[in-house]
Amino acid sequence: MRKVAIAGVGMTRFSGPQSKTEVELFAEAALDALNEANLKPKDVKALFVGNCLGDFAEGQGMVQSFAAEDIGCFNVPASRYEGACASASMAIRDAYVWVASGFYDIVLAGGTERAATMGTPLATRTFAMFSDARYEFPSGITFPAVFAMLTHLYSARYGIPLEKLTEQMARVSMQSYKYGSINPKAHFYGKYADIGVEKIRNSFMVSSPLTLHDCCPFSDGASAIVLTTEEIARKLTSKPVYVIGVGQSSAGSLSSQNKYLPKIRAREVSAKQAYDMAGIKPEDVDVCELHDCFSIASLLAVESMGFFDYGKSGEAWEKGEADFGGRIVINPSGGLKAKGHPIGATGGAQVYDIVKQLRGDVGDGRPVVEGARIGMTDTLGGDGGTVVNMLLQRGW
């Protein structure tokens, strides 16, 4: 297979309700990515768009075709990807496969969503469709409840008192807010920089023991990535970032995963695929943008990806091992928790941020992971139903 590089990235601001449509948001991110790659819309050979709730948010299906026309990629093959929160990551992974195979030379991939515009009640109800609709939702289980149950199970499985665990989780949220508050593209830009453990733990209870500040927001936004061959990328940019490993795995209902919980088996499988393809180990990764839809999700993710031992990741946050100067830097963008979570666009934003870190040009006075050569993304759809991991490496 051919070596694949990222030549350009684009991302809108993630925020509360925006007036632009999903197509318009994607066009904004896509044109930024194309401009950064020194390409025109006519150069794109295929378009892959992640979108989860557009049918419900706007009554608009087939957003990929309208997006292709809107940005000037006339008559190209355009496909929509739906894997809940992993939708954009699925689109980017498949774009990698198509370019690596030699079928396409340049593919534009990413995602778009207006989850905030839907409002919390509608977004919560429709998003619950991505768990088991026959048994889980009628039982009153939405995603906050899923991760609340995983928190209790994690506490019991590893013998960590719930009081101690929720304090560790609060430190996860504090770190996310610290970096989201200085990220101009983040939903919580300028907010919660100085929030403390007790304020997080004493905020509104969403699903015990998860409080409001343990949970990420629904956001509006879009992201876009230009993937191309190594040869073309070197003509377009002096700083190509290579995709060196990809993984994707699936799982059934939460109850079908009971043998492994609170571990997310699909993530273990997906991450191993990516590591094996790249020929590296977890300790080779310098920075990771992972799926922290809830604070407990960060602990689960870093363990399944091999960064910290099972049951020990909370201690890593206490000791600063998941921050600058530690073992690995986790979510310097603010993550889903503070950067925001426009469901169909999240995976593309993770790639955007890893590329910016590897290039050392995050801008706006934000910290850079000095000397970073390898970055990783991790996106989880549903309650482990779809997981995608990607490994990126500096190409200069």
pLDDT digits (tens, 9 = 90+) for 112-161: 999 999 998 888 888 888 988 888 888 888 899 999 999 999 999 999 99
Percent pLDDT > 70 in the chain is 100
pLDDT number for residue 278: 98
User: DSSP characters for 334-375?
Assistant: -HHHHH-B-GGGHHHHHHHHHHHHHHT---TT----TT--EE
**Residue tagged active-site, from 85, 216, 288, 293:** 85
Strand-pairing partners, residue 63, are none
> Considering only CA atoms, which of 97, 114, 85, 383 is closest in space to residue 256?
383
Per-residue pLDDT, averaged over 306-324, amounts to: 98
280 burial level (CB within 10 Å; 0-12, 13-18, 19+): middle
**Residue tagged active-site, from 187, 213, 291, 341:** 341
Q: Which residue has the higher pLDDT, 138 or 266?
A: 266
Strand-pairing partners, residue 5, are 228, 242
pLDDT higher than 90, residue 375: yes
pLDDT number for residue 135: 85
E-only strand ranges, 59-202: 78-81, 106-114
- DSSP type of residue 318: H
Domains, the chain, with CATH or none: 4-120+218-236 (3.40.47.10)
- Asked if 291 is an active-site residue, the reply is no
Question: Taking all residues of the chain, what is their mean pLDDT, rounded to a whole number?
Answer: 96
- Amino acid in the structure at residue 43: D
> What does the pLDDT look like over 150-195, one tens digit per residue?
999 999 999 999 999 999 999 999 999 999 999 999 999 999 999 9
Asked if 262 and 300 touch (Cβ cutoff 8 Å), the reply is yes
> What does the pLDDT look like over 41-92, one tens digit per residue?
999 999 999 999 988 889 999 999 999 999 999 999 999 999 999 999 999 9
In degrees rounded to 5, what are phi and psi of residue 84?
Answer: 55, -130
Length of the chain measured in residues: 396
> What does the pLDDT look like over 346-368, one tens digit per residue?
999 999 999 999 999 998 889 99
